[in-house]
Structure 1
Amino acid sequence: MKKIFVVAALLMLVSAFSTPSAKACTNYLITRGASTDGSNMITYAADSHVLYGELYFRPAADWAEGTMLDVYEWDTGKFLGQIPQVPHTYSVVGNMNEYQVAIGETTYGGRSELGSQDGAIIDYGSLIYLALQRSKNAREAIKVMTELVETYGYYSSGESFSISDANEVWILELIGKGNGEKGAVWVARMIPDGYVSGHANQARITTFPLEGKTSISSDKMDKIFNSEVQNVYAKDVISFAKEKGFYSKEGKNKDFSFSDTYAPVDFGGARFCEIRVWSFFNDVKEGMDQYFDYCKGNIEHDEKGYATNRMPLWIKPDHKINVLEVMDFMRNHLEGTDLDMSKDMGAGPFGNPYRWRPLTWKVDGVTYCNERATATQQTGFSFVAQSRNWLPDAVGGINWFGVDDASSSVYFPVYCGITRVPETFAVGNGKLMDFTSKSAFWIFNQVSNFAYTRYNEIHPEIATKQKALETKYLAFTNIIDLAAEGMFKKNKATAIEFLTDFSCNQGNNLVDEWKDFYGYLFAKFMDGNIKEKDGNNQNPKMKQPGYSKEFYKTIVKTTGDKLKVVGDSH
C-alpha cells in the first residue's frame, strides 16, 4: 500500500512539472553574517520549458486617485481582474527594487484541494512584482503580499518565497484556502543572521514559534515592523487545517507543521526538490551526508504521518560565502555524489549531466526517474540578488543576472537603481519561437546547446571564460561602488545615470563577446573533431578523440559481433 501511495504521489508531481505553466525553480538564501562582505543574498532560477529569459523593468511612477491596475497571470498572460493602484510605485529591475528588496519563488503545489480559488485575482507572479513596487523592506513586502491575497483571493497553488533587503532575509510559505473561502494560510520566518537556507519546489517550514516575543499572528500585523519579531503567521493557519481535517482537532498547536500538513514531502518532493537544497547545504557544511538518504526519496514518518528525517530549514555554514561561490552553487549537477549525472549511461559518450524530459519513464512496467539537479537546460533566467546596507540603496543593490542554463550562463551586474536595462536583455527583444541574434537569451542558448553535444570537452572552456568574466565584473563593481557613492553626495541623478550606463554597457558587451565565443567554439569543435590554429599554417592541428574506452566497451556489449572487423587478430 505504501508503494502505491509513493508511486501515485510521484506521478502527481511529475504531472505538475509537465504542465507548460508550471515552474520548477531554486532559491538559496544567504544572510549578512554568512557572507564574506556582509551582504544579504538570495538566488532564483526561473525554470520552465516555455519561459523566455529577459530582464523585466518597471519604472517608478505616480498614479492618480482612482486608477485601477489590470492583473494578469504571470505564467500565461491570462487576465484575472483589477485592483486599485497605489499612489506611488517604486522602480523594479528584474526581481529587485530601488530599495534593495528582492523576491524569488518556488512552486510546491501542496494539497490539490487548495490549488484553485474561484474569483481570485492575485497569482504568485503578481504577488512578487506588486510587492516589489510597493515595499521599502522585506517586512513591508510580507505585509503587502499577505494582505493582497486576503483582500483579493489567491489564484495559484502553494508557493515558497524568498524575500530579502539590505538587513534581513525571510522565507514566506503560502497556500490558498481553495474554493469557498477567500485568501490563504501562510507562515513567514526570518533566517537567523549567520545562517543560510533554501527551497526548491517543496515546502520547508515545519513547526514554528507561536505567539510570543518573537512571533505574531496576522491579526497583529501592525507589530511586524518590530525588529524583535522574527516569525509571522496567518491567524487561522492551524485552525483552518483542523477545520478541513488536515490536522487532528486534538493535535497540539505547538506540534503543528506547516509543510507536513499542507504539502507533505513524498518521493518526488525529496528526490526532485529537496536534493537541490541539499546540494547547496552540502557545499557549505560538513555532515550533510546524514540527509542524503532522505533526499534520495527514503522518507521516515512518525505516528502523525510527519516526516522525521528531514533537513533543517536553515544551517550555519562552515565558512563565509562570497558572491562568486553563490553563482557556482546554481551550477550544480550533483557532482561528487553517487547520483552524479555525468557518470551514468544517460550521460552518453561525453559525460553530459543533462537528461531530456520526461522526468520519469518505464521499462517493463517499472518506473524510473532522471535526476533533477540545480542547473538545468530549461532555465529562462536566474539571478543572485545582493543587498548591502553600507551603501546608498541605488548602489547597494546588485542583481547579478543571467539567462538560460546557469551552468553555461554568465552573471553580469545590474545595479538596482538604474533607469533602463541593456537592449540585449530587454523585454520584447525576441520570443521563444522568434530567434534573433540580438537577444541574450538566444546567444546563450546557442552556446549551451552546442556544449551539450560534447560536454566533457566544450563545457570546461565555457567554465573558464565564465569565471574570468564574473571575476572581472566583481572587480569592476568594487570600483564602481566607490565612484557612485561619491557621486551620490553631489548629484544623485548623475550617479544613477552612471550606474545605468555601466550596467547596460556590461550586458550589451557581454552578448557581443558571447557571440564571438560561440564562433570560436563552433570552429574548434564542429563535425566531431577538435581543431586548433597552427601558427600561420593553412590547416589547423586536429584531434579525433572518438569515445572513451568505457563507451566503446558498451557499444561492443550491446552490438555483439555486428561491428567486428573480420580477420583482426587483436
Structure 2
Amino acid sequence: MMHWTTALVLIILAITEACTVIGVGKAATVDGSVLVSHTNDAGLNPADLRMVRVPAMNHSEGSMRPIYNFQRNGYPRVRSKDRGPQYEPEANESLTPVLGYIPQVPFTYGYFDHDYGMINDNQLSIAESTCAAKTVGWPKSLHYGHNLFQIEELSKIALERCNSARCAIQLMGNLAVEHGFFGEYGKNQRPNYGSSSEALGISDKYGETWIFHMLTGADNTSAVWAAQRVPDTNIAVVANSFVIRTLNLSDTENYMASENVESFARDMGWYNPAEGPFDFAAAYSWAKPGPSKPLYGGRRIWRIYDVCAPSLLLDSTLGQHPEVETYPFSIKPDRLLAPRDLMEIMRDHYEGTKYDMTKEVAAGPFGNPIRFGGSTKNVTGGWERSISMHRTTHSFVLQARGNLPDEIGGIAWYSLGAPHGSVYAPFSCAQSTVPASYLSSRKNKFDTNAAWWAFEFLNNWSMLRYNLIHADVKKVMNEIQDEAIALEVSTREQAMQITNPPERISFIESRYNAFAQRMVDRWWQLAFSLIVKFSDGYIIHGDRAGDMKAPGYPAWWLQSTNFGTWPTSDAYNPPAKIITLQTPPHHSITLWVVSAFFAIAGEEMDNRDGVVLMYTASPGGTINGPGPGGMILIGRDDQEYQMDMQRGRLQRLLTTTIFVCFFILFLDGTNRSQRLSKKTSHQNTQWPYTDNDTERLNQIQYFKHLLDIERSHFHPLGHMNKSENVSGIYSGLWAPLQPKNYKAQVAANEIGRVVHPQIQPYADYDVNANRFNSDVASFSPGGVFWLVLSTKPTPVAECNDDVAYVTGQVIMHDKQSTLAITMFNVQGIFLRKVGRLTLYGNIPDARVELVYPTTYPPRANPVTSIVNSTVQNGSLAVDDEQMHFEVSPPRYSIYGSQQQRLRTGQSLVDQCSYTLDMNVETPDKTSAPMVHMHSVAALGGIVGSEACQLYWSANVTYVGENFDQFFSKASHYAIIMAILAMFQIYLLLRQLQISSTQAMAAKVSLLTIGAQAIVDSYLCLAHLTIGIVAQQIFTLFATVSFFELIIFSIFEMRYLLVIWKARRPQNFTQGWLLMRRELTTLYSRFYISLLTGLCLIYYGWHYINYLVFIAFSFWVPQIIHNAHCEVRNPFDFVYVLGMSITRLFLPLYLYGCPKNFLSALPVYQQQMQPEMCYLLIGWVSFQIVMLYLQQRCGPRFFVPARFLPVKYNYERRIDADQMSLLRANQGDEIDCVICMVELDIDARDYMIAPCDHIFHRPCLQEWMQVKMECPTCRCALPEP
C-alpha cells in the first residue's frame, strides 16, 4: 500500500505542481524593467492551448460578473458572452455553467488570457505556481463546498480592474476572504493537499514586483493570504512551494497580508508565539515526508539562484523545507538580467552540473533529458525535476517598463511547447489580435496550421536522437531568438516616432504578428528538414555516395547491454565441424606464474597458500568461448616456508623496481659521437666550409659586414645599443592581427634585411600544411603572453658576439578564461647588433640557420640584391647562390634531444607551427641601473602561423632572471626528494616485515596508511607535471615521480591489502570470487578517496593551508584506532620518526625556505609562511608523542577510567568447578596445546582465554603476536 501511495503522490505532483515563477526587481535588470516569468507544465490536462485576447469593455450599471470554475475544463477554456469573441459559443455549443456572481465594475481593461490571466493594457503582469498547503477548499458546485474563487478567476479579475500590483493583491485577497478560495481540491474523503494553494508573481509599470500566496481558511472556506515585495535589486523564485517567511506588517511598503494570517495558524496549533516570530511558510506549507517534495522545488530554486549568482556557492542538496529556510526569499544576481536570461533559464535541464539530465543513465544512449511521468509500476523512487519539461504547454516572460507608453513598454515574450525547443516571440500588451495559427491549436488533432504543433512535433522528434537533433534545433532557435530581440528593439524605436496611439498599436501589432507567423513557418520547415536528415538511424546530407552516415550507439551504452556478450553459448552452438573449419590452429600453451608475480603486482594472497595461475589454450578454446582453454587457480600448502618466501618477494620487489627505474630514465644506448654523426648529408663540415684559416676569417668578416649593413639600415642614427643577452622571462599582452596587416608587417620587415633566418626540418615535414587547430589564438580576443628564453652560443665562436642561438617556451593565456592556455617550445636566432629576434615554434627535429648571399668579395651594395629577393615557403629565394650558417647545435632537436624525452599535448605534426619576428628594446644606460646586468628591457613584434591562418602581435617586458637559477635549485630539490623517497621505501620494507603476521597487521589503521598513500599519489602527479612543463629537469623530477609511484602503488597499496586481509581473514580463504570482491572494494575505496581529494584541492585551493594541515594529520587515525581497539606497538618507532621527518621536508621547504626553486620562477608568486612551519612541526610532533605515550603508558592512557569498558582478564584464576570439568575432559594432566607441555596449575603461570582454554603465559603471548584467535577453537581473542 505504501508503494501505491508514493506512486500516487508522484503522479499528482507531475500533473498539478508544475509551474516555475521568477520575479525580477527593476534595479536587477539591464534596462530598469521589471520581469516575471512562468512555465505552464501541467501537460497531462487537455488544456486550451490558445492565448486569447479579452478586449476592454464598458458595462452597464448594476450588471453582475459571472464566476466560472476553470479546473479541468479542457477545450474550450470557457464559453461566455462577456469575455470577447474568442470565448463566445460556436454552433451547437452551450454556455459554461456559472459558479456564482459578483457585482461588475463600469469599465474593465483588456488583457491576454490563458489558463491564468497574463498581462493587461496597463502592463500589469501575473505569473502562477501551484503550491501545497495544510488546508483544502471545494467549490460551491459541490454539496460539501463553500467557495467561489480559484486563482484562475482571481487573476483575470485583477487584470480587468487593476493597473498596479498592490491593487491586484488587495483585490484578490479581499474577494477570496469574502467569498472563499479553493485550489486543486480532490474529493472530500481524499483531499489534495499537494496542490491546494497558489502563489503568484505580480509586477507592474510602477517598478514593483511582488510574490503573493493564498490558501483556504478556517472550516474549508474563506482564505488566508500574504504578499512580500521583491527588493528592487533582487530576484525571487517560486517552485511549487511557499517562500514567504516572516512578515513585518508594519512595513507596508514591502508586506501585505490578510487580517487572519497569524491568528488562523495559532488557532490551528500550527504556530506557537513562544517559539519565535511567525513564519508563514512553516505554518501553512505542507510537505509529504521524504525527499520527493523538497527536491521537486528546492533543486529548481538552487539552479536559478546559482545561474544568476554563482558567487553565493549555494548548496544544491538542501532541498526546500517548510520548517527551515534553506534558500533565501530573494537574492541579488551577480550581473544585471535581461528577458533573454530568463528564457535561457527556463530552457534548463541542469546542463553542466552533477544533475545534468542529458548525462545520466536514464538519458539513454542519445542524451535525452526527458523523463516521462505516469505509473511507476510499484517501483519507489523519482527523477530530477528540471525547469524545462516535455509537458510544458507554454511559457512566457512578461516585461513591464513604466518609462515607455503601455503599448510599447508592456511585452509578453510568449513561447509554445517545451522551452528548450521553442522561441519566445514578442507581443504587445495592447495589441488586439494574434496570428490565426496561435488560435487553432488542439491537443487531440495534429494540424500543420497550428502554431503549437510546430514546436510540439519537433520537440517530440528530437527525443529520437536528442544529442544530435537538438543541436540543430538549438542553432536555429538561437538565430530566431536573436531576430526576435532585434525586432523588439527596432519596433520600439520606430513606434516612439508615431504620436497617434491607435496607429502606434496597429504598427506594433502588424510587425509582431508577422514575425510570429514567420517564425512558425520557419519552424515547420526546420521540422520537415530534420525528419529527412535524421531517419532510420542515419544522418542524411544529400543524395550522393557518402552523404549518409550511421552514427550508431556510444560505446558505454553498448557495454551496458548484451551487445558485447552476444551471442551467448546458449544462443549459438554450431556443429563441431563448423568450429573446426572456422577456428585457426593453435599450439598448446601452458603458462605457470608463481605467487611472486602477484606480490610484484600488488596482489597479496593468503600467507598459508602458494597460488599458481595456469592459462591453457587449444584449438577452439578461448578464455570466454567454448573449448578447454581458460584460466585455472591452483592452491597448495606451503606453510613450512611461507615466511622465507615473503622475505624473498620483498627483496626481489625492491631490486626489480629500482632496476626498472634507472633503466627507463638513464639508460641510453646512443653515444655522443653517434648522435653527432646524424647530421644531414648536405653539410659535412662546419661553416664557413673551408680549412683555410685566412679564407675562413674573411668569410666571417664578410658575414659581420652584412650585419653592420643591416644594422645601419634599421638604425641609421646609431641609437641602437648592442644587446648582449636576451635570456630571461618576459611578460606582456598579445592581440589578434588581421591577415592583411600581418602580411603587410612581414613585407615591411623584409625591406632592408640582408641576413635571413630560416628553419629547416630534418624530417619530411611541411611547415605550411594545414594542421589541427585548437590554440588559444583561434578563439580568444587576446590575453597574457609569457616568453621564457635562454641564450646559447653558436657553433662558430667568432660570431658569438653578433649572433646567439635561442631556445625557450611560449605560454599564451586567454584573458577571458584562466583555464585556456597554449604552450609550445621555440628555437631561433638573436642578431645582437641588429636587435632582432626570430623564433620558430612547434617545428619538430629541425635546424635553425642564417642565409645570406655568397658574393665574395663583398659587393658595393649587397642590400640591392637582398631587396630583390623573395621568401617562398618559409625559405629565402635570392638571385645569387646562398650561404647557410647553421646556428643551432648539430642535429639538435628541441623535442628529441637527450635532455627531453617526453612530448606533451597532441602530436606535434598535427599542431600549428609559428614564426615569431620580434625587435628588442634596450634600457637607457644613463637612467636607472640595469637589473642583474640584463641588456634587453622589452620585446615586440608579430607572430604568425600560415598553417593555421593565425596571426597576432605581442609586446612583452622583462620580468625575471635567467632560468638557470630555477633549474639549479629544482635539480637540487629533486635529488633530495629522490633520496628521501628511497629512504621511505626502506622504512616501508622494514615496517612490512614487522606487520607480516595477521595480529600485527590488524593493529595498523587503514586510514593512516591510506592517507599517506593518497598524499604520495598527489606528489607523484605533481612532480611529473612539473617535469613535463619544465623539460630541462624532466629526468630528475620524473625520477622523483617514479619513486613516489613505487611507494604508493606497490608498497603502500600492498600494506593496505595486508591490513585489509588481516581484518577479514575468512574472506580470503573462501575462493577467488570472494577474494576478488574484497580486492575490488579496497581499491575502489582508495581511488574514490583519491579523486575526492583532487576535487577538494581544485575547488578549495584558497584553503590549501587547511588541506595541508589535514594531510599531515595522518597519525591521528592510528591514535584513535589504538585507543578504540586497545592496540599497542602497531609501528616500529623508527618507521614513525622516519616517515614524519621525511614527509615534513616538502612543506617546510616550500613554506619556510625563502630561496626555494619556486621562488626563482616569477610566474609563480609564493609567500613565505614560517608560522605554518611551526604549526606543522608542532602538530606532527604532538602526534608522535601521543603514539609514544600510547606505547609506554597504554593506548587509552588519556581516557578517564570511568569511560573505559571492562577489560578481559587473562590472569583470572580457575575455580574448583572449572578444574573438575577440565580434569574430567583431559585427565589428570592438562597440556598446553601450543607447546604440548603439561600445565602447572598450582604455579599459576598460565593464561585463560574467554573460551576457557588454558595455555602457558609465554606461549599464548607469543601466539597472539601472530594471530588473535584461540589455537584450540579459533574464537577471536581480545587484546590483553
TM-score, normalised relative to structure 2: 0.40
Aligned counterpart for 2:67 among listed residues 66, 71, 74: 71
SS of 1:355 mapped into structure 2:
coil
Q: Would the aligned equivalents of 1:115 and 1:178 in 2 still touch at CA under 8 Å?
A: no
The correspondence of residues 498-537 of structure 1 with structure 2, limited to 5 A, is 498-533=507-542
2:104 to 76, 81, 85: 85
Q: Residue 133 of structure 2: which of 107, 110, 113 is its match? A: 110
- Please point out which of 284, 294, 310 is paired with 1:286: 310
Aligned partner (choices 551, 555, 560) of residue 557 of structure 2 = 551
Separation (CA, whole Å) in 2 of partners of 1:15 and 1:116: 23
The question of whether the paired residues in 1 share the 8 Å contact of 2:306 and 2:314 is answered with no
Which secondary structure does the structure 2 equivalent of 1:275 belong to?
A: helix
- Asked if 1:40 corresponds to 2:34, the answer is yes
In structure 1, how many angstroms separate the alpha carbons of the residues matched to 2:239 and 2:383? 17
Tell me which residue corresponds to 1:225: none
Query: 1:420-471: per-residue Cα shift (whole Å, max 9, x none)?
Result: 1111112xx1322122211111111110000011000011111111111111
1:46-57 matched pairs, under 5 angstroms: 46-48=40-42, 49-50=44-45, 51-57=47-53
Contact 1:326 1:384 in 2 (8 A): yes
The correspondence of residues 154-553 of structure 1 with structure 2, limited to 5 A, is 154-156=181-183, 157-166=196-205, 167-177=207-217, 179=219, 182-210=221-249, 212=250, 214-215=251-252, 229-248=253-272, 250-252=274-276, 255-265=277-287, 267-295=291-319, 307-308=323-324, 310-358=326-374, 362-363=378-379, 367-426=380-439, 429-487=440-498, 489=499, 491-533=500-542, 541-553=547-559
Query: 1:336 Cα deviation (Å)?
Result: 2.1
- SS across alignment from 2:485: helix
The residue that corresponds to 1:219 in the other structure is none
Does the aligned pair in 1 maintain the 2:363–2:369 contact within 8 Å? yes
C-alpha displacement at 1:119, in angstroms?
2.5
Using the alignment, how far apart are the partners of 2:559 and 2:367 within structure 1?
15
For residues 78-99 of structure 1, give each alpha carbon's deviation from its aligned partner in whole angstroms, at most 9, with x where no partner exists. 7422222221111112411111
Query: Retained in 1: the 8 A contact 2:68–2:98?
Result: yes
1:412/1:123 CA distance change after superposition, 3 Å: same
CA distance in 2, matches of 1:136, 1:9: 45
Q: Which residue number in structure 1 is paired with residue 1018 of structure 2?
A: none
Whole-angstrom distance in 1 between the partners of 2:11 and 2:519: 37
CA distance in 1, matches of 2:465, 2:400: 38
Q: The residue matched to 1:106 in structure 2 has which SS?
A: strand
Q: Deviations over 1:133-152 (max 9, x none)?
A: 11111111111111221222
Give the % identical residues.
28
- Name the SS of the counterpart of 1:546 in structure 2: coil
Letter in 1 for 2:344: D
Deviation of 1:165 (Å)? 1.0
Letter in 1 for 2:36: I
Q: 2:11–2:375: 8 Å Cα contact kept in structure 1? A: no
Q: Does 1:129 align with 2:153?
A: no
Q: Conserved in 2, the CA contact under 8 Å of 1:332 and 1:373?
A: yes
CA distance in 1, matches of 2:286, 2:532: 50
Contact 2:433/2:509 (8 A) holds in 1: yes
Q: Secondary structure at the match of 1:290?
A: coil
When residues 172 and 454 of structure 1 are mapped into structure 2, their CA distance, relative to the original with a 3 A threshold, is same
One-letter amino acid of the counterpart of residue 64, structure 1? S
Matched residue type, 2:476: K
> Structure 2: how far apart are the matches of 1:506 and 1:96?
20
Q: Deviations over 1:272-321 (max 9, x none)?
A: 112112111110112554331112x7x6xxxxxx6335100100011111
Aligned residue number for residue 834 of structure 2:
none
1: distance between equivalents of 2:451 and 2:329?
35
Q: 1: distance between equivalents of 2:416 and 2:469? A: 19
**TM-score, length of structure 1 as denominator length:** 0.87
2:109 aligned partner, one-letter code: Y
Q: Distance in 2 between matches of 1:62 and 1:45?
A: 32
Structure 1 position 101 matched with structure 2 position 124? yes
Please say if residues 80 and 120 of structure 1, whose CA atoms lie closer than 8 Å, have aligned partners that are also in contact: no
1:504: how far off? Answer: 1.4
In 1, Cα distance between equivalents of 2:564 and 2:105: 67
SS in 1 for 2:271: coil
| Offset at residue 501 of structure 1 (A) | 1.0
Partner Cα distance (1:520, 1:375) in 2: 24
- SS, match of residue 227 in structure 2: strand
Q: Residue deviations 1:75-134, cap 9 Å, x none?
A: 323742222222111111241111111101111121145577822111111111111111
Structure 1, residues 471-504: CA drift from partner, whole Å, max 9, x if none? 11111111111111221x2x11111111111221
Structure 1 residues 8 and 171: alpha-carbon distance in aligned structure 2, compared to 1, 3 A threshold? farther
**Contact 1:399 1:414 (C-alpha < 8 Å) held by counterparts:** yes
Whether contact under 8 Å (1:115, 1:158) holds in the other structure is: no
Question: 2:284 and 2:198 mapped to 1: Cα distance?
Answer: 11
Query: Over alpha carbons, which structure has the higher Rg?
Result: 2
CA RMSD of superposed structures (Å): 2.5
Paired residues in the alignment total 527
Alignment partner of 1:174: what SS? strand
Shifted more, 381-390 versus 242-251: the winner is 242-251
Alpha-carbon distance between aligned partners in 1 of 2:311 and 2:4, rounded to the nearest angstrom: 32
SS of the residue aligned with 1:53?
coil
8 Å Cα contact 2:137-2:146 kept in structure 1: no
The separation in 1 between residues aligned to 2:521 and 2:317, in whole angstroms, is 45
Distance, in Å, in 1 between the alignment partners of 2:234 and 2:375 is 32
Give the Cα–Cα distance (whole angstroms) in 1 for the partners of residues 234 and 283 of structure 2.
26
**Residues 515 and 8 (structure 1), Cα distance of their counterparts in 2 relative to 1, 3 Å cut:** closer
Change (3 A) 1:313 1:329: same
The answer for the alignment partner of 1:146 in structure 2 is 173
Moved more, 48-57 or 27-36: 48-57
Q: Residue deviations 1:233-276, cap 9 Å, x none? A: 11111101111222226444xx1111111114553332111211
Q: Is the 8 A contact 1:360 1:370 kept in 2?
A: no
Higher relative contact order (CA 8 A, sep 6+): 1
Q: Are residues 565 and 100 of structure 1, via their aligned partners in 2, closer, same or farther at CA, if it must alter by over 3 Å?
A: farther
Contact 1:109-1:158 within 8 A present in 2 as well? yes
Stretches of structure 2 that go unaligned for 5 or more consecutive residues are 74-96, 184-195, 574-581, 584-621, 625-1280
Alpha-carbon contact 1:191-1:197 (below 8 Å) kept = yes
Change (3 A) 1:183 1:542: same
Report the 3-state secondary structure (helix = DSSP H, G, I; strand = E; otherwise coil) of the residue aligned with 1:187.
Answer: strand
Provide the C-alpha distance between the structure 2 equivalents of 1:136 and 1:203, rounded to a whole number of angstroms. Answer: 25
Q: Shift of the alpha carbon at 1:558?
A: 9.0
